[in-house]
A and B are shown apart, each in its own frame.
Chain A
Amino acid sequence: MKTKRPDNDSALINDIKRIPPPPVPYGLDARLLRAVTSHAQTGKVSFRTWLQESFGKAFVWKLAVPLASLFVAGYLAGMGATPARDPASPLAFPAYSPLDTYAAFCLEK
């Protein structure tokens, strides 16, 4: 449904339409071509773009990001656990890993 614009609107819109376009700089396309092709040759792409181009978009969002989060979480957890490994600490983790315990059990047998 079209509504009739007030006269003020028409005058304003006509004025806006009458604003002359800016002049296009001389040699714009040649300058652009040079800039774009040289920029592309330097290979200045972001790490994410490189990952996406190399492994596909799905890799980045479905695999790389969760993997990176897991790695960071594991690293932080490891940092937190380190002081507790002091055998004198009441919060100490077992001195031996489950694998060591299993190995000792096998040796005893």
Chain B
Amino acid sequence: MNSVKQDAEETDSFLLERCRDRDKDALSVLMRRHAPRAYILAHRMLNDTHEAEDVLQEVFLKIWMRPEKWSPEKGGLFSTWLHKVVVHQCLDFIRKRKDSDDIDGMEITASCRDVATDIDQKERLESLQQAIQRLPARQRSAVVLCYQEGYTQKEAMEMLGIGMKALESLLSRAKATLRQLNNL
């Protein structure tokens, strides 16, 4: 109980400073605090439990080796910076596995239409989730950040390192494809 209270009092920057001194307890607190949401983000990007954990492992290893990479003086929350690193690590991961599911100009298959016509809400959301997973990586990251993670467009464009026009274009293309796939 006491340690939980102590966790809450310790700021992220203080914990990172302790990580510089190779304090495993500080890393543990950081992980308890941020790993679950970062995992959800990675899972939404990769749709795979093991890959999401691998990404998180890489990201936290980077933080452990170089905790000075983020500091409050650079502006922004640690969690936002962490999510940015997670997104880029996921994009690298997708690039490495040469995601063949990119569907720029993909034909809509009959099975997609069949699923889309299902009126059951749960199944509709599942098919939508599958459709999001089949979007090209950058469109998927834009959708995940803006609509699922709740970031503003300004935050998302900074996280992805693109301009507002490019983000709007990614979102618009993603929505068009999702609408097609789900017959909306």
Contact = CB atoms under 8 A, between A and B. Distances in A.
B27 A11 contact: no
Given A33-B27, A36-B60, A37-B64, A16 B44 contact: no
Interface size class for chain A? 20 to 34
Nearest to B147: A16
Given A13-B147, A22-B40, A32-B31, A8 B184 contact: yes
B79 interface: no
A29 B31 contact: yes
Contact of B175 (A9, A18, A25, A31): A9
A12 B175 contact: yes
Contacts of B44: 21-22
Interface stretch (B8-16, B93-101, B124-132, B154-162): B124-132
A88 interface: no
A107 interface: no
Given A21-B44, A33-B27, A37-B27, A12 B179 contact: yes
Contacts of B28: 29, 33
Tell me whether chain A's interface is mostly helix, strand or loop, or mixed: helix
B128 A29 contact: no
A19 B128 contact: yes
Contacts of A45: 65
Interface of B: 24, 27-28, 31-32, 35-36, 39-40, 43-44, 49, 52-53, 56-57, 60-61, 64-65, 124-125, 128-129, 132, 143, 147-148, 175, 178-179, 182, 184
Given A12-B184, A15-B184, A19-B125, 18 more contacts: A12-B179, A15-B124, A15-B182, A16-B132, A16-B147, A18-B125, A19-B128, A19-B148, A24-B39, A29-B32, A29-B35, A29-B36, A32-B31, A32-B53, A33-B28, A36-B27, A36-B61, A37-B64
